């Protein structure tokens, strides 16, 4: 069993090769955005597209954040075990599908909005 604190310390020290040798997969640094492809420090083996839904609890490990993925997966993180960028993790297929569908819908809407704005700003 790997000691999580040790892993965090090693990751902070940049000892990624040593971690990989122990079978620990490395993510990108802490996710600073409130949404994005990410992998919680604990739990799961895939990156999901997480959206932060709560960040109003302070506990002994700092600020606690609640996350909900597009596919419905939920996660809680805190400052000692934060949400990380997806790094080398595989993306959740369900999140990918939903994101793709959403993105095409978004694109259509934003194009439409842009057209409207352009028309309105004409003298």
**Residues within window 60-89 making contact with Zn ion, judged by CB under 5 A:** 69, 71, 73
Q: Which of 41, 50, 92, 99 contacts Zn ion by CB under 5 A?
A: 92
Q: Where does the chain show beta strands of DSSP type E?
A: 35-40, 46-59, 62-69, 74-78, 83-85, 90-91
Distances (CA, A) of 8 to 66, 84, 86: 21, 12, 16
Instruction: Print the binding letters for residues 8-47 with Zn ion: x by CB under 5 A, - otherwise.
Output: ----------------------------------------
In the chain, what is the straight-line distance between the N-terminal and C-terminal CA atoms, in Å? 69
CB of 26 to Zn ion, least distance (A): 20
Residues contributing to the site for Zn ion (CB under 5 A): 48, 69, 71, 73, 92, 94-95
């Amino acid at each position: 069993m790997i000691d999580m604190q040790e892993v965090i310390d090693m990751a902070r020290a940049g000892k990624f090769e040593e971690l990989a040798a122990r079978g620990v997969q490395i993510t990108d640094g802490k996710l600073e955005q409130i949404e994005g492809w990410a992998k919680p420090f604990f739990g799961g083996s895939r990156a999901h597209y997480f959206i932060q839904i709560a960040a109003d609890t302070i506990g002994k490990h700092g600020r606690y954040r609640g996350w909900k993925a597009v596919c419905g997966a939920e996660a809680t993180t805190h400052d000692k075990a934060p949400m990380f960028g997806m790094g080398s993790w595989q993306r959740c297929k369900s999140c990918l599908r939903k994101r793709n569908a959403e993105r095409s819908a978004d694109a259509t809407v934003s194009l439409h909005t842009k057209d409207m704005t352009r028309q309105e700003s004409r003298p």
